[in-house]
Amino acid sequence: MKIIRASVPAKAILFGEHFVVYGKRALATAINRRLEVVVSSREKSGYHVKIANIPTFGLQLNLEHEKVGREAYLYKDYDNASKAIAYVKKTIDYLEENYEIGGKGVELEINSEIPLSAGLGSSAATCVATIAALKEYFDVATDLEGIRKDAHSVEKAVQGNASPVDTAISTYGGYVLVEDAEVKRLPLAELDLIVGTIGSIPLSMDITKTAEISLKTKTIVEAVKARRESFSSIFGHIFDAADELTAQALIALERKDFATLGALMNVNHGLLDAIGVVPRRLSELVKRSQESGALGAKVTGAGGLDAMGGVGSVLVLPGEQKDRIKVALEMAGALALDVKTGETGLKVEQFV
């Protein structure tokens, strides 16, 4: 039996998220947490998708809501999970429309170390790994750039407006600069960072919101668009400042000038707050990191909204105070992860 395993890294946007959707520069890196998609055959026709262990608050809450066993929920109930796997469904539709795939039954199992809706690229990772695994399984000739472009098309279809940042990092790994929607790979040194993730929604929140949260990026990107239209002249300056900030951060990183790099992360966080993507809980994580001695801290990825429980992640350049910062993040209710930048991109293996 032919079995294909495709694995891809999580991403962390160092500078320029949101602004990059409008052509401004962004710098992102792959981090050492991975997601894998394993494709094998099944007797019945069609696709059967098992989400074995994607860490996600949404599925856990629905689990209690539905009063079904863990196994039963994870493997059988796709009603509530259907939004969470919107990217998988869209990926399969896209591949069937554009390539000679299908015709035989496919078992698709997703294993992930990347929390969902945390700003760490789980959606892009799912698209890239699913595309790579299915193309290989159905012997569709491809290369990395082809996979990246396919994954970006799927992300745009689900998210409405998506920059190439997340799918480029999942595919290529390392570091990527995106400028005017062009992807440039950069050979930069590895950094030790901390990611602080708020993955739980408040118990008081309406349980039906958990399904919406799985399409959080789309909602937040739309909120930024609306705000930008309301305050277009002010937002023009903010977006230009963000672009210049990424350019200066790149120089600081190349020179290994970490004090400047951290200071620029703090400024980037302020700009993200100005465009409305910093909820209270993530704001607190940044402040606590800064007062615990971090060189810099900022929201990373799409950010969050208070109305959606304030879930999301912050990225911290810890300097000498790693342990102190991690304790501060954990005391504020976050999961604090040590991460390394520059992780390897897509890996595809075949087993017979």
Residues making contact with ligand MEV (CB under 6 A) = 13, 17-18, 20-21, 119, 162-163, 165-166, 217, 221, 301-302
What b/e sequence results for 309-327 when a residue is b if at least 16 CB atoms lie within 10 Å of its CB, and e otherwise? Answer: bbbbbbbbbbeebbeebbe
- Residue with the shortest CB distance to ligand MEV: 163
Gap between the Cα atoms of 286 and 269, Å rounded:
8
Q: How far is the CB of 22 from ligand MEV (least distance, A)?
A: 10
Q: How far is the CB of 146 from ligand MEV (least distance, A)?
A: 20
- Written as one letter, the residue type at 152 is H
Q: How far is the CB of 337 from ligand MEV (least distance, A)?
A: 17
Q: How far is the CB of 165 from ligand MEV (least distance, A)?
A: 5
Give me 82's structure tokens.
């259907």
Closer of 17 and 109 to ligand MEV (Cβ): 17
- Written as one letter, the residue type at 63 is L
Contacting residues for 231 by C-beta, under 8 A, at least 6 apart: none
- Written as one letter, the residue type at 286 is V
Question: Measured between alpha carbons, how far is residue 166 from residues 56, 122, 198 in Å?
Answer: 19, 9, 20
Q: How far is the CB of 306 from ligand MEV (least distance, A)?
A: 17
Please report, to the nearest 10 degrees, the dihedral formed by the alpha carbons of residues 306, 311, 312, 314 taken in order: 80
Give me 212's structure tokens.
């919406």
Question: Measured between alpha carbons, how far is residue 29 from residues 47, 120, 343 in Å?
Answer: 32, 10, 8
Q: Is 240 considered catalytic here?
A: no
Gap between the Cα atoms of 112 and 300, Å rounded:
19
Gap between the Cα atoms of 9 and 168, Å rounded:
11
Closer of 18 and 135 to ligand MEV (Cβ): 18
Gap between the Cα atoms of 68 and 71, Å rounded:
8
* Catalytic hit among 166, 273, 306, 323: 166
Q: Which residue matches tokens 């390392």?
A: 174
Q: How far is the CB of 245 from ligand MEV (least distance, A)?
A: 14
Closer of 4 and 315 to ligand MEV (Cβ): 315
Do residues 173 and 343 lie in contact, with contact meaning Cβ atoms separated by under 8 Å?
yes
Where does the chain have alpha helices with state H?
A: 57-66, 70-76, 86-98, 122-137, 144-159, 165-172, 209-213, 216-230, 232-254, 258-274, 280-291, 322-331
Q: How far is the CB of 45 from ligand MEV (least distance, A)?
A: 34
Active site positions, annotated: 166
